Amino acid sequence: MALLTLGLGSNLEPGHHIALALDALQACFGELVLSEVFESEAVGFQGGNFLNMVVAADTHLPLDDISQLIKALEARCGRQRDQQRFSSRTLDVDILTYGDLQGEHHGILLPRPEITVNAYVLWPMSQVCPDRIDPQSGHTYRALWAAYDRSKQQLWPVDFRWCGRQLLLSKTHEDPPQPE
């Protein structure tokens, strides 16, 4: 069994597409661990604000099968693969980590470098896997978020409901503990 973490993002009907993705991921993987949902400005292009979150699940599925499932899910939500890399998206699902795999596997670089670069990935990752160690830095995601320069990217938690659950965690608005 491998712990899979996925980054979800959308800026075209984002509430609708994030909810559809969560439904599909729950049907595929069962119990999900969910971060809050965050809103942030588009990075790398002019566009509407994004909603982003991180989802974790335990799975027996091989990485290549997961990649195909994600591409099919994105296509069902109207994602067109011929778009520019940095552009508006109905749904973007990125495989962030898969167990302890490192390096390139089936064309996927693991762990995904954006985890420690972008606030919209690191903050939710620190909620879902706070004590998991990033193999590149040797620090936990909680410590990486505590040390992150928040002036680089602005994002904020939003009230988001899915399957009767409110995905807004009140204590995450406090300043995180400083790294040891």
- Please name which of 144, 151, 155, 145 lies closest in space to residue 53, comparing C-alpha atoms: 155
**For the segment 117-132, what is each residue's pLDDT rounded down to a tens digit?**
999 999 999 999 999 9
Please, which pLDDT band fits residue 102 given cuts at 50, 70 and 90?
Answer: very high
Integer Cα distance of 53 and 67 in angstroms: 18
Instruction: Extract the tokens encoding 157.
Output: 């938690």
Fold (CATH) for 2-173: Alpha-Beta Plaits (3.30.70)
pLDDT tens for residues 39-54? 998 887 778 999 999 9
Mean pLDDT over 53-67 rounds to 98
What are the boundaries of each domain within the chain?
2-173
Residues in the chain: 180
Residue written as token pair 């729950």? 26
Sign of the CA dihedral 96, 100, 103, 106? negative
Count of alpha carbons within 13 angstroms of residue 98, beta-carbon side: 20
Give the SS3 label for residue 65.
helix
pLDDT at 164 over 80: no
